[in-house]
Structure 1
Amino acid sequence: MTRSISSFSPRPDRTGAGSISRKTLGYVLAGTAVLGLGGLGVSSLVAQVEGDRGIPPLANSADIQVDGITVDVTGKTGAEARLKGWKEAQKLAWKKLGGPDMPSESIDAMVSSVVIEKEQVGPHRYIATLGVIFDKAKSSQYVGGAGSVARSAPLLVIPVLYSGGVQQVFEVRGPWQRAWAEFQAAATPVDYVRPSGAGGESLILTAGQPGRRSRLWWRTILGQFDASDVLMPMARLERQWPGGPVKGTFTARYGPDNTYLGSFTLEAPSEQALPDMMDQAVERMDGLYREALARGELKPDSTLTGGNAPLERAFAQLREKLLPGGGVPEMPVAEPAVPQAPTIVTEEPAGAPVETVNVQFVTPDAAAVDAGLAAVRGVPGVEGAATVSLAIGGTSVMRVSMRGGSERLASALRAQGWQVSGSGATIRISR
């Protein structure tokens, strides 16, 4: 058997046939560099979101699923051995759930499907790893409990993997994210919100995201996924040698402050056993989060769900310290000498209509997002401001409810030192 090899050679032919002069080679390289620089701006942006990245999570099922059942049976034929193996898997799965002793026919009546994970069918033998799904309506009276279980608030899952000196989430299809995507979360009281990682999600949910502390940033992220808080299950893989044992250290973290909840270690004997280790790690990680939920530690952070309540309390405490008597006197009486008070009153005419203004602002990093939101929310007359389009490294857009319209908003931002362009329902601000 022969292999076809391309006739192109990266080196000039030393015999002289087909040789390339240095001058010609220089022209080729220079032209390639110019074309590469010209397309860099577009191709680099497209390359950040194209390709196979995320893995869509399995839809949660209300049924009861038991995975990892291993069977090794024999029969007169391969088909008979296979059917016998399925029946054996059903009994083993029922025993694993802690169900009472029942005839095989009764157990079979409660099985809705059998999931084939791995199987080998021979002339008289059947070896397989199977999963068994029991219908919850029929089996819940025996296993799983009939009472309702209190579930947690929706929690965004960011599975971070450290492997080979590189940290990743959705940049490539990794084994840790795959294990979370394939996890059947119907039986757990923790309400996991598992992104697929496709499209722009891979730009927002990165390995550096758990290190952020900005509440404004986290509110924006959680709002896009309808989540109340965040979970960061982290996995670190260490390989002894290529194809050899793989040691995994798994840590459960939670919340915008990256709070530590617990950790454990597992080891796979080879690279082929890595998926099984990851599946086992997800189940144990779910156990840590269940225990934290039972202890009351998975309550959503009030700074993420309470809106501006903490800020209002801080201002109230500040007024208590600055104003005499601890009360809230009328502004003209308490501070007659402050020139800003009359100006603020005149800038907010009574009965001014509330208009919606789209504000475009450059956001090279997360700090720019916070600065832009803080500046707009600090303008008198602003009743609400939230980002509707987030683009780190580009131009983001926030939607502002302003009493008095865009002209009053633009003049107030100019007074803060912002450069404002545009008019009407859309304006652009920059430093």
Structure 2
Amino acid sequence: MSSRRRLLTASSCLIVLLAVGGTVVAQMEAGDRGILPIDSTGTLEIDGIHVDVGGKDAASARYAGWRIAQREGFKKLWAKQHGRPESEAPNLSDSVLDGLVSSIVVDRENIGPTRYIADLGILFDRARAGELLGMSGEVRRSAPMLLVPVMISGGTATTVEIKNPWQRAWAQFRTSQSPVDYVRISGMGVDPLLVNAAQTGRPGRGWWRNIIDLYGAADILVAEVSVQRLYPGGPAYARFVGRHGPDGEILGGFDLKAKDSADIPRMMAEGVQRMDELFTRALAAGELVRDPTLITVEPPPPVEDELAAIQPVAQVPLSGIQIQILTRDDAGLNNAVAQLRTIPGMEGVGVRGGDKGWSILFVNFRGNNVTLASAIRARGWTVSDVNGTLRVVPALQIPGAPSGQ
């Protein structure tokens, strides 16, 4: 069997069918465009384990092969985590490993009457295996990076507009063990309209900002592969190029070969692994620096009206005050009234009458007699308070003017 599929162990084998109106909804490949990415946040994967074992029958040989794969898988994962040889990894019993392994991935297998040959991958439960693997604390990861997988074949560049083996390989890639925080697109909804191959060649920052904000990312990574075939179904040569940012800055590239069409999924899976290593090296070297033009600048706060910015001041009570002022004639009266109206806090000035050159005024003033008297004196006038009435003599009056009624 050459197709890649996951075989769950007996402890975790559970098939859930969601029937809606008599229709079974497929979870992995819903839709005709892209493929939903695998959620690998709770697992740790090690692949490339080759087993060749015999048994009294096919089932026994397969069971023995899976046991061997579990043991070798834990040692490989331990060595990978610690950067040390597999010989130093602890030896765990099969019963303990059964509790750590969540599933077994079959890449290739050949089953004979008494022999089992296969290439397998092992998925370990992150929560249960983490402590035995010496994984503690948080792993430092990059900022969220929107991953755009572009495949060029036959002169046509696509991302998730149609299903293709490059996007499938990225959807099947388990990103939880990578320091790069990938944001992968699935091809559902508006993905083919917003994140298509043409978008990777557009330099407009405004549109890019809208896209990465929509997908909750902070930057862009483009994984591009160009595939050339000698003839249909024959060998395929692929050139892989990793790009970064809205301008498509090249981070590196490599070449791979598939012997025929059936070998292309294997080539794409290897290409994803090597592309992740390329992005990881760029991250470690400090090359994945976010383009400052992708940062959304918050608009400045609106300028507040000057009057609105002034804190309200408590209003001084309005008082009615009577003034007796020396005016002598109508011109002097008009001048005195005009002068009084310019005093701050003066709300109104009314003439009540007059006699012998003195005029009686009644004013509405925000304040009391003392405040108004001080304001009038500040103009150079003479003021005296007689039983609550302010007697005012304007400046430049003729000496000897009467001082009373």
**What range describes the TM-score normalised by the shorter chain of this pair?**
0.5 to 0.7
Within 5 A, what are the aligned runs for 1:258-407? Answer: 258-307=248-297
Which residue in 1 is equivalent to 2:150?
160
Which residue in 2 is equivalent to 1:102?
91
Matched, 1:192 2:143: no
Contact 1:159 1:232 in 2 (8 A): yes
Any idea what SS the aligned residue of 1:73 has?
A: strand
Distance in 1 (alpha carbons) for counterparts of 2:274 and 2:306: 60
Contact 1:153 1:299 in 2 (8 A): no
Matched, 1:203 2:193: yes
Any idea what SS the aligned residue of 2:42 has?
A: coil
Which residue in 2 is equivalent to 1:115?
105
Which residue in 2 is equivalent to 1:374?
none
Paired AA for residue 60 in structure 1: S
Task: Report the CA distance between 1:142 and its aligned residue.
Answer: 4.8
Within 5 A, what are the aligned runs for 1:19-38? Answer: none
CA distance change for structure 1 residues 350 and 206 in 2, over 3 Å: closer, same or farther? Answer: farther
Which residue in 2 is equivalent to 1:139?
129
Normalising by structure 2, we get a TM-score of: 0.61
Distance in 2 (alpha carbons) for counterparts of 1:77 and 1:225: 51
Paired AA for residue 217 in structure 1: W
Equivalent position to 1:84, from 49, 55, 64: 64
CA distance change for structure 1 residues 175 and 210 in 2, over 3 Å: closer, same or farther? Answer: same
List runs of 5+ in structure 2 lacking aligned partners: 1-29, 80-85, 309-405
Task: Report the CA distance between 1:280 and its aligned residue.
Answer: 0.7
Paired AA for residue 77 in structure 1: D
Any idea what SS the aligned residue of 1:197 has?
A: coil
Contact 1:159 1:233 in 2 (8 A): yes
Contact 1:161 1:236 in 2 (8 A): yes
Give RMSD over aligned pairs. 2.5
Equivalent position to 1:61, from 33, 36, 41: 41
Distance in 1 (alpha carbons) for counterparts of 2:120 and 2:307: 70
Distance in 2 (alpha carbons) for counterparts of 1:195 and 1:113: 25
Which residue in 2 is equivalent to 1:232?
222
Contact 2:42 2:127 in 1 (8 A): no
Any idea what SS the aligned residue of 1:158 has?
A: strand
**Per-residue Cα deviation, 1:219-274 (whole angstroms, up to 9, x for no partner):** 11111101111110000111122222111110010111111101011111111111
Contact 2:71 2:92 in 1 (8 A): no
Contact 2:105 2:122 in 1 (8 A): yes
CA distance change for structure 1 residues 88 and 303 in 2, over 3 Å: closer, same or farther? Answer: same
Distance in 1 (alpha carbons) for counterparts of 2:307 and 2:148: 47
Contact 1:113 1:133 in 2 (8 A): yes
Any idea what SS the aligned residue of 2:240 has?
A: strand
Distance in 2 (alpha carbons) for counterparts of 1:228 and 1:144: 31
Larger radius of gyration: 2
Equivalent position to 1:126, from 116, 125, 139: 116
Which structure has the highest strand share of the two? 2
Q: What is the total number of aligned residue pairs between the two structures?
A: 267
Task: Report the CA distance between 1:151 and its aligned residue.
Answer: 0.9
Distance in 2 (alpha carbons) for counterparts of 1:350 and 1:274: 72
Contact 2:141 2:181 in 1 (8 A): yes
Paired AA for residue 222 in structure 1: I
**Per-residue Cα deviation, 1:123-182 (whole angstroms, up to 9, x for no partner):** 212232322112333433454643432111111111000111111111110000000011
Distance in 1 (alpha carbons) for counterparts of 2:32 and 2:67: 38
CA distance change for structure 1 residues 200 and 109 in 2, over 3 Å: closer, same or farther? Answer: closer
Which structure has the highest helix share of the two? 1
Matched, 1:241 2:221: no
Distance in 2 (alpha carbons) for counterparts of 1:268 and 1:129: 18
CA distance change for structure 1 residues 302 and 144 in 2, over 3 Å: closer, same or farther? Answer: farther
